[in-house]
Amino acid sequence: MTEPKKLFVKTYGCQMNVYDSERMAEALGASGYVPTDRADDADMILLNTCHIREKAAEKVYSELGRFKPLKAAKPDLKIGVAGCVAQAEGEEIMRRQPMVDLVVGPQTYHRLPEMERAVRAGARAVDTEFPPEDKFAHLPRGPRARRAPAAFLTVQEGCDKFCSFCVVPYTRGAEVSRPAERVLAEARDLVDRGVREITLLGQNVNAYHGAGEDGSEWSLARLIDALAAIDGLARIRFTTSHPNDMRDDLIGAFATQPKLMPYLHLPVQAGSDRILKRMNRKHTAESYIRLIERLRAARPDLLLSGDFIVGFPGETEADFEDTLALVRTVGYGQAYSFKYSPRPGTPAAERADMVDDAVASDRLARLQALLTEQQRAAQAAMVGREASVLFEKPGRMPGQMVGKSEYLQAVHVTAPQIAAGEIARVRIVEAAPNSLAGALV
Ligand code: SAH
Ligand code: SF4
Ligand code: F3S
């Protein structure tokens, strides 16, 4: 028997890339690859990249540079670049880094096995098409390994929103929903392999409108209800949503579907209508706040998370203060905030009225101070309360298990009798900014 080849995958960017990395590893599993967590041990290295901000994209090149000695020591080592930088830069990557053998975009990785054969034969392979076929339907499946209790499942891809700062519509292509039956089949398979919580993924997941089993178009709420009927699946989440696609049935699901967890990531980006308009967000601060009110009416304990961009071209101090005011009004349990990064090919990158970098940095620090304060308060508010925790893995201390609350907070408990995959009631006794400690009830 020949030794299996080893695959090292490194993932950058969003959860969709995490999901894609799993699927790429599975596809190459069918070509005889087994995963390794050491680059220096690998026969193939695959970087699954992110193009969302300049720093994210540049990381790829510095990482590739670090593989040079590995390639020199092992000429058979193949190096591939996948994901959104691959899509955006294509062959340019091979010009900048001659040691790259393979470049594959997010919509063509079902062709990886053929590409792998080509590069093994000494060719260089580039595929950044947007093919007509559904890659998920054409992905080879490797061995069906047991899975961790919480898994991602992509149900929708691409984006037609064209926010003026964002590369996603260009790197991921047009918005497409997977047929409900395929999503359900994949979910059943995950549950058979030990999964108890599924997070449905999409760049605009709440715009989901897949073909249903009955031929009609299903909304995300309808899909969630069908998934909830799967025995053994205990929890459902979804991310990322756009405020304009948050329809009534989905808001209602937070009240009526017990398996849908009370956590929602709903990016707003900015609190100034003038800036929102320039961002082409097509909603106002006010409409977002009204939406949050309706969501909280459906599910009063909903924990909200968001994304923010500061220093968008033309942002004044008054605009920025509108963002702070919106944050104070909404109250987030968790959030991500970024300094605006001009991306080639996007309309905002053409604007001349860039905000001074020092000013943008200062605003980012002020926003993050406020968001951190809100996150600490949300964590502290858990002390003395009971949470339902899905345990995922052992913690660092002996006998400790770590899991997630219904609000997606990390919780650790000393409970050697608990196994990964179990859900238990926990009384929270201590709060840190990024984790909670508790005891079994
Ligand atoms: N589809 C999701 C977001 C995808 S990108 C949505 O619409 O909410 C994730 C986050 O990165 C965005 O929400 C935004 O806050 C940030 N982001 C995107 N482009 C950016 C840019 N050019 N500069 C800085 N942050 C950016
Ligand atoms: Fe980007 Fe806007 Fe689409 Fe989100 S909705 S992926 S921010 S273009
Ligand atoms: Fe990055 Fe692509 Fe996701 S640009 S955020 S990896 S969709």
The DSSP code sequence of 346-403 is SGGGG-S-PPPHHHHHHHHHHHHHHHHHHHHHHHHTTTTSEEEEEEEEE-SSTTEEEE
Architecture of domain 386-440: Beta Barrel (2.40)
- State which ligand 3 atom lies nearest to the alpha carbon of 15: 3
DSSP for 9-27, please give it.
Answer: EEE-SSHHHHHHHHHHHHH
| Ranges assigned E (strand) in 148-302 | 150-154, 156-157, 176-177, 197-201, 209-211, 217-219, 235-239, 263-265
Mean pLDDT of 402-411: 98
- CATH class of the domain comprising 5-135: alpha beta
Q: How confident is the model at residue 141 (pLDDT cuts 50, 70, 90)?
A: confident
Residue ranges around ligand 2 (CB below 6 Å): 159, 161-163, 166, 168-169, 203-204, 242
Q: From residue 64, give the alpha-carbon distance in Å to each of 50, 99, 322, 349, 394.
A: 14, 9, 41, 27, 33
CA of 202 to the centre of ligand 2 (A): 11
Q: Is the pLDDT of residue 56 over 90?
A: no
Atom 1 in ligand 2: residue holding the nearest Cα: 166
- State which ligand 2 atom lies nearest to the alpha carbon of 280: 2
Mean pLDDT of 353-377: 98
Q: Is the pLDDT of residue 54 over 60?
A: yes
For residues 230 and 222, give the distance between their C-alpha atoms in angstroms, rounded to a whole number: 14
Contact 270, 313 (CB under 8 A): no
Q: What is the mean pLDDT of the chain?
A: 96
Q: What is the pLDDT of residues 97-131, one digit of tens each?
A: 999 999 999 999 999 999 999 999 999 999 999 98
**Which of 317, 325, 322 has its CA nearest to residue 356?**
317
Tell me the sheet residues that pair with 386: 427
CA of 69 to the centre of ligand 3 (A): 28
For ligand 3, whether the C-beta of 51 sits within 6 Å is yes
Q: Is the pLDDT of residue 214 over 90?
A: no
Tell me the sheet residues that pair with 335: 306
Q: Is the pLDDT of residue 1 over 60?
A: no
Q: Is the pLDDT of residue 5 over 70?
A: yes
Atom 7 in ligand 3: residue holding the nearest Cα: 168
Q: Of the bound ligands, which one is closest to the alpha carbon of residue 169?
A: 2
Tell me the sheet residues that pair with 7: 35, 44
Map out the domains of the chain as residue ranges: 5-135, 145-380, 386-440
Mean pLDDT of 68-81: 95
Count Cβ atoms within 10 A of the Cβ of residue 239 and give its class: 0-12 exposed, 13-18 middle, 19 or more buried.
buried
Q: Pick the residue with more confidence: 334 or 141?
A: 334
For ligand 3, whether the C-beta of 52 sits within 6 Å is yes
Mean pLDDT of 268-276: 98
Count Cβ atoms within 10 A of the Cβ of residue 156 and give its class: 0-12 exposed, 13-18 middle, 19 or more buried.
buried
Q: Of the bound ligands, which one is closest to the alpha carbon of residue 82?
A: 3
Q: Is the pLDDT of residue 142 over 80?
A: no
| CATH domain 145-380 topology | pyruvate-formate lyase- activating enzyme (3.80.30)
Question: How many angstroms separate the first and last alpha carbons of the chain?
Answer: 51
**Which of 432, 429, 431 has its CA nearest to residue 440?**
429
Count Cβ atoms within 10 A of the Cβ of residue 229 and give its class: 0-12 exposed, 13-18 middle, 19 or more buried.
exposed
Q: Pick the residue with more confidence: 236 or 140?
A: 236
CA of 309 to the centre of ligand 1 (A): 8
Mean pLDDT of 386-409: 97
For residues 347 and 197, give the distance between their C-alpha atoms in angstroms, rounded to a whole number: 38
Q: Is the pLDDT of residue 2 over 60?
A: yes
